[in-house]
Amino acid sequence: MCPQPNESISIELQQLQLDADGRNERTQWLLNSPEPPSFCNELINSVSETVLPQKNNFFPSNSKQCKAGVFSFLQGLFPILSWGRNYKANMFKHDLLAGLTLASLCIPQSIGYANLANLEPQYGLFHELAIGPVAVVSLLLSAMVTNIVDPAVDPIAYTSFVFTVTFFAGTFQAAFGLLRLGFLVDFLSHAAIVGFMGGAAIIIGLQQLKSLIGISHFTNKTDVVSVLRAVFRSFHDEALSPMNFILGCSFLIFILVTRFIGKRNKKLFWLPAIAPLLSVIVATLMVYLTKADQHGVKIVKHFKGGLNPSSIHQLQFNGPHLGQVTKIGLICGLVALTEAIAVGRSFASMKGYHLDGNKEMVAMGFMNIVGSLTSCYTATGSFSRTAVNFSAGCETVVSNIVMAITVFISLELLTKLLYYTPLAILASVILSALPGLIDINEAYHIWKVDKMDFIVCIGAFSGVLFVSVEIGLLIAVGISFARIILDTIRASTEVQGRLPGTLDTFCDITQYPGATSTSGILIIRINSGSLCFANSTSIRERVMKLVTHTNGNEENTKENVHFVVLDMSNVMSVDTSGIVMLEELHRELVSQNIPLTIANPRLRVINKMKTAKCFDKLGKGWIFLTIGDAVDACLSLKIADPSSTNC
């Protein structure tokens, strides 16, 4: 027996009421979301996550929890407590070979980088870990600290400023890690790093002409024009010995040939690793035995051995240059972190483990702080050394301990021999490491994928090459910031439709032409992580334009817009301008007899809207957990009262 018409309407209304009750309950879940943690709690949790490998209560209830918390804290600071318990004797032979191989590369490379940074050679070897001086940071120090004091005029003051810069670099790095500010490193985008490294590699290579040719007087500037001008001037103003060039080029060819052999035959990975040290030893013996230093070959000369002396008394925390030193420390710290984390993530993915960037920052920060107190300058992760360590089959960081002992022995026993090391050899060691910094294939890949990223890449490259290192960085970061601002201001909106065959799946009708619009309901998604002063006006104009455009094309639509559903699932934060915009949009739509419905606002957005009493103006009955709930509510209102379209 079929139900009567009045009974059917009653059953339908009852079902609508049940659906409405369910939607209202879900809306209450949304509106009664918990308050976000306070700033102090976020800071404590941040420090806890950084220094503790596992979540532990800061306020343990018993002695057992207290001991576990202390041990967990120590594990966070000293990872050896975690992996050391599982270390086996058969791992040591791999670590021993890797450590000795690493030391053979590290010793000549570090001496060369110290020379690049305008420091005495022993300061490169005072770093006793695989993390150590690298070309880019050495160039940064040389380029920027030289603007404060000339190392040729006052080398003691120059060295003091370098140690102070290292202290500030370490302080910033540790602070970034503890406060979980690792995202700051990401402002140096991949494209910016590719361009910066390429430009820096060319500049570093050109500066090595000073040692490769044997020039006595050279420019302190780093741009390509100044460097080339200094090189050409030297041919007229100085009596140059061709022996420097012959010696340097001969061993450069030897190093490159061994690298080629090592790539062709993976079993000979150790050959390119020991080639720099072998070159230094042979060239030094040649100079020592033939007394070539008396015939125009320039040598290192100054080389102090022994353990790292204390440099606490050399740190400069007062005076007119403190602001400049702090700025240089921040720049060097960021660049060093960027290189170290990039290298670390690359090799972590190869070996299948996760790298915690914030812990890396804390470790590197404290390392540089301690280094600044013990005659070390800014250090970071080196791709070449890490690759050698990896290829040599290292199992743990014991390989670094082996390398540290080897470097210590060298500082104690080999400094008299290293006195006669020709500068041309150090230049050839640095030059041999530069091809890895210039990645033409990656630059071409960036051009194909994203033209704006390529502009960032070229901006960084050109700035470093033709102006200075810091200007190149500034250009790269500036263009990246400009892109972020443009993307924020030009936040897009998209019209959503229901995917056929689904009940609650809505997607962009442009991307999925098969998605169907719901009669009389315009669903708009805001494609921006932030609804703020920069984009609120443009978003409001886009929404109103879509409403006007739809209502103005009745021949192409079944029905005018009676409801607007604003999908805010992508919006992670909102400021006062964004809230005011929602209120203005609500008033404009209501004036046209169109209710504004908001779907899926996030936790931070909900709490700010509640604090601003925005829901009192928009109406709590028009806030829903999902787009499906919002659409069903609008359809229910039409069924219940077809003549009414507002609340």
CA–CA separation, 345 and 355 (whole Å): 6
Domain ranges across the chain: 89-483, 492-646
Phi and psi, residue 599, nearest 5°: -120, 135
- Matching residue, tokens 């991949």: 190
| Angle, helices 357-373/39-51, rounded to nearest 10 degrees | 80
For residue 195, give Cα distances in angstroms to 129, 208, 437, 484, 601. 28, 20, 10, 19, 39
CA–CA separation, 392 and 399 (whole Å): 10
CA–CA separation, 262 and 384 (whole Å): 14
Q: CB-based burial of residue 450 (10 Å sphere; 0-12 exposed, 13-18 middle, 19+ buried)?
A: middle
Ramachandran category for residue 376: left, alpha or beta (phi over 0 → left; psi -120 to 50 → alpha)? beta
- Matching residue, tokens 């050899």: 425
For residue 1, the model assigns a pLDDT of 46
Which tokens is 485 given? Answer: 């601002």
Residues forming beta bridges with residue 623, ordered by sequence position:
598
DSSP reduced 3-state for 523? strand
Q: Amino acid letter at 30?
A: L
CA–CA separation, 147 and 321 (whole Å): 10
Report CA dihedral (420, 423, 427, 428) to the nearest 10 degrees.
-50
What Rg do the C-alpha atoms of the chain give, in angstroms?
32
DSSP reduced 3-state for 495? strand
Phi and psi, residue 186, nearest 5°: -70, -10
For residue 468, the model assigns a pLDDT of 81
Q: In the Cβ-directed half-sphere of 568, how many Cα atoms lie within 13 Å?
A: 30
Q: In the Cβ-directed half-sphere of 585, how many Cα atoms lie within 13 Å?
A: 26
For residue 647, the model assigns a pLDDT of 43
For residue 91, give Cα distances in angstroms to 88, 281, 627. 6, 30, 57
Taking Cα atoms as reference points, which of 231, 196, 197, 194 lies closest to residue 211?
231
For residue 557, the model assigns a pLDDT of 44
Phi and psi, residue 389, nearest 5°: -60, -45
Report CA dihedral (278, 284, 286, 288) to the nearest 10 degrees.
-150
Task: Using alpha carbons only, give the angle 134, 212, 279 rounded to the nearest 5 degrees.
Answer: 70
- 10-residue block means of pLDDT along the chain (647 residues)? 49 57 75 71 64 51 65 66 75 82 81 86 69 82 89 90 95 87 72 85 86 83 86 82 91 92 84 87 91 87 78 89 93 85 68 71 89 90 74 77 84 80 88 84 93 89 86 81 80 89 87 88 92 90 89 57 93 92 94 92 89 86 89 78 50
CA–CA separation, 188 and 334 (whole Å): 9
Which pTM was predicted? 0.72
Task: Using alpha carbons only, give the angle 495, 499, 502 rounded to the nearest 5 degrees.
Answer: 140
* Domain 492-646: homologous superfamily in CATH: STAS domain (3.30.750.24)
H-type helices in 467-595, by residue range?
Answer: 469-489, 536-551, 576-591
CA–CA separation, 493 and 510 (whole Å): 11
Task: Using alpha carbons only, give the angle 544, 481, 365 rounded to the nearest 5 degrees.
Answer: 135
CB-CB contact of 244 with 296 (8 Å)? yes
